[in-house]
Amino acid sequence: MRSSTVLFAIAAASVIDAAAVQLDSLREVPEGWAAAGHPDPSTPIFFRIAMTQPNQGLFEQTLSDISTPGHARYGQHLKRDQLKAMLRPAADATAAVMSWLTDAGVSPEAIEDDGEWINFVAPNVTVAEKMMDTEFGTYKNDAGVKRIRTLHYSIPENLHGLVDMIQPTTRFGQIRAQRTTYFSKSILGQVGELTDAVNCKTSITPSCLRTLYKVPTNPVNGTGATGFMAFNNFLEQVPRFNDLKAFEAEYAPYANGQSFNTVSINGGTFDQSSQADSGEANLDAQYLLALGAPVKMTAYSTPGRGPLIPDLDQPDASNSGNEPYLDFLNYMLALPDNQLPHTLSTSYGEDEQSVPLSYRLNVCNLFGQLGARGVSVLFSSGDTGCGAACQTNDGKNTTRFLPIFPASCPYVTAVGGTYSTAPERAIGFSSGGFSDTWARPTWQNAAVSGYLNQLGNTWAGLYNRTGRGFPDVAAQSSNFHVIDKQTEAQLSGTSASAPAFAGIISLLNANRLQAGKPPLGFLNPWIYSAGYKGLVDITNGKSTGCTGRDQYSGLPTPYVPNAGWSAVTGWDPVTGHGTPDYSKLLPLALSASGSSKGKRTAIEFEA
Would you say 538 is a known binding-site residue? yes
- Contacts of residues 245-248 at CB distance under 8 Å and 24 or more positions apart, as own/partner, are 246/483, 246/486, 247/282, 247/286, 247/482, 247/483, 248/289
Task: Please check whether residue 593 is in contact with residue 74, taking contact to mean a CB–CB distance below 8 angstroms.
Answer: yes
pLDDT(155) > 90: yes
For the chain, give percent helix, strand, coil, nearest 5: 30, 20, 45
Q: What is the pLDDT of residues 232-269, one digit of tens each?
A: 998 778 999 999 999 999 999 999 999 999 999 988 88
pLDDT(180) > 90: no
343 and 470, same domain (yes or no): yes
Q: Tell me the average pLDDT of the chain.
A: 88
Average confidence (pLDDT) over 384-402: 92
* 333 domain-assigned: yes
Q: Are strands 413-419 and 376-380 parallel, antiparallel or unpaired?
A: parallel
Least confident of 143-147, 391-395, 423-427, 519-523: 143-147
For residues 63 and 78, what is the distance between their CA atoms, to the nearest angstrom? 9
Tell me the torsion sign for CA atoms 598, 599, 600, 606: positive
33 and 94, same domain (yes or no): yes
User: What are the residues facing 378 on neighbouring strands?
Assistant: 345, 413
Neighbours of 520 (CB within 10 A): 27
pLDDT(325) > 90: no
Residue 434 maps to which CATH number? 3.40.50.200
Task: Please check whether residue 319 is in contact with residue 32, taking contact to mean a CB–CB distance below 8 angstroms.
Answer: yes
Task: Please check whether residue 281 is in contact with residue 291, taking contact to mean a CB–CB distance below 8 angstroms.
Answer: no
pLDDT(311) > 70: no
Average confidence (pLDDT) over 14-23: 70
Local confidence band at 199 (pLDDT 50, 70, 90 cut-offs): confident
Report the amino acid identity of residue 576. Answer: G
For residues 367 and 540, what is the distance between their CA atoms, to the nearest angstrom? 32
Domain that holds residue 132: 4-54+89-167
Would you say 570 is a known binding-site residue? yes
For residues 496 and 494, what is the distance between their CA atoms, to the nearest angstrom? 5
Structural domains counted in the chain: 2
pLDDT(272) > 90: yes
pLDDT(288) > 90: yes
* 371 domain-assigned: yes
Which contiguous run of DSSP H or E holds residue 103?
helix 91-103
* 579 domain-assigned: yes
Percent of the chain with pLDDT over 90: 73
Is 495 considered catalytic here? yes
Residues 6+ apart with CB under 8 A from 77: 66, 372, 373, 374, 518, 519, 521
For residues 369 and 69, what is the distance between their CA atoms, to the nearest angstrom? 18
162 and 197, same domain (yes or no): no
140 and 218, same domain (yes or no): no
351 and 419, same domain (yes or no): yes
Q: Tell which of 134, 167, 200 closes a domain.
A: 167
Least confident of 115-124, 530-539, 576-585: 115-124
Task: Please check whether residue 231 is in contact with residue 503, taking contact to mean a CB–CB distance below 8 angstroms.
Answer: no
Q: Is the pTM of this model over 0.75?
A: yes
Local confidence band at 145 (pLDDT 50, 70, 90 cut-offs): confident
327 and 429, same domain (yes or no): yes
pLDDT(105) > 50: yes
Task: Please check whether residue 261 is in contact with residue 295, taking contact to mean a CB–CB distance below 8 angstroms.
Answer: no
Active-site option among 203, 278, 477, 495: 495
Is 284 considered catalytic here? yes
Local confidence band at 480 (pLDDT 50, 70, 90 cut-offs): very high
pLDDT(6) > 50: no
Active-site option among 280, 351, 352, 424: 280
Query: Phi-psi category of 208—alpha, beta or left, where left has phi over 0 and alpha has psi -120 to 50?
Result: alpha
Task: Please check whether residue 419 is in contact with residue 478, taking contact to mean a CB–CB distance below 8 angstroms.
Answer: yes
* 408 domain-assigned: yes
Active-site option among 24, 284, 327, 472: 284
Average confidence (pLDDT) over 523-527: 99
For residues 524 and 320, what is the distance between their CA atoms, to the nearest angstrom? 30
For residue 141, which phi and psi values (nearest 5 degrees)?
Answer: -100, 180
Local confidence band at 481 (pLDDT 50, 70, 90 cut-offs): very high
Is 274 considered catalytic here? no
94 and 162, same domain (yes or no): yes
361 and 250, same domain (yes or no): yes
Q: Count of alpha carbons within 13 Å of 569, Cβ hemisphere only?
A: 2
pLDDT(26) > 70: yes
For residues 469 and 490, what is the distance between their CA atoms, to the nearest angstrom? 30
Cite the DSSP H helix spans in 349-419: 357-372
| pLDDT value of position 190 | 41
Average confidence (pLDDT) over 490-507: 97
* 60 domain-assigned: no
Which contiguous run of DSSP H or E holds residue 418?
strand 413-419
Task: Please check whether residue 390 is in contact with residue 344, taking contact to mean a CB–CB distance below 8 angstroms.
Answer: no
* 558 domain-assigned: yes
pLDDT(333) > 90: yes
For residues 192 and 246, what is the distance between their CA atoms, to the nearest angstrom? 15
Q: What is the pLDDT of residues 48-93, one digit of tens each?
A: 899 998 999 999 999 999 999 999 999 999 999 999 999 999 999 9
205 and 96, same domain (yes or no): no
50 and 145, same domain (yes or no): yes
Local confidence band at 175 (pLDDT 50, 70, 90 cut-offs): very low
113 and 246, same domain (yes or no): no
Residues 6+ apart with CB under 8 A from 142: 32, 316, 318
pLDDT(292) > 60: yes
Q: Which range is most confident: 39-48, 217-226, 406-415, 548-557?
A: 406-415
Would you say 204 is a known binding-site residue? no
| pLDDT value of position 225 | 85
Percent of the chain with pLDDT over 70: 87
Average confidence (pLDDT) over 571-595: 96
Rg (CA), the chain: 24
Average confidence (pLDDT) over 425-439: 98
* 602 domain-assigned: no
| pLDDT value of position 198 | 56
For residues 521 and 412, what is the distance between their CA atoms, to the nearest angstrom? 10
149 and 215, same domain (yes or no): no
For residues 350 and 323, what is the distance between their CA atoms, to the nearest angstrom? 9
pLDDT(605) > 60: no
Least confident of 2-16, 75-89, 299-313, 381-395: 2-16
pLDDT(187) > 60: no
| pLDDT value of position 305 | 52
* 197 domain-assigned: yes
Q: What is the pLDDT of residues 510-521, one digit of tens each?
A: 999 999 999 999
Query: Phi-psi category of 545—alpha, beta or left, where left has phi over 0 and alpha has psi -120 to 50?
Result: left
Least confident of 277-286, 309-318, 369-378, 534-543: 309-318
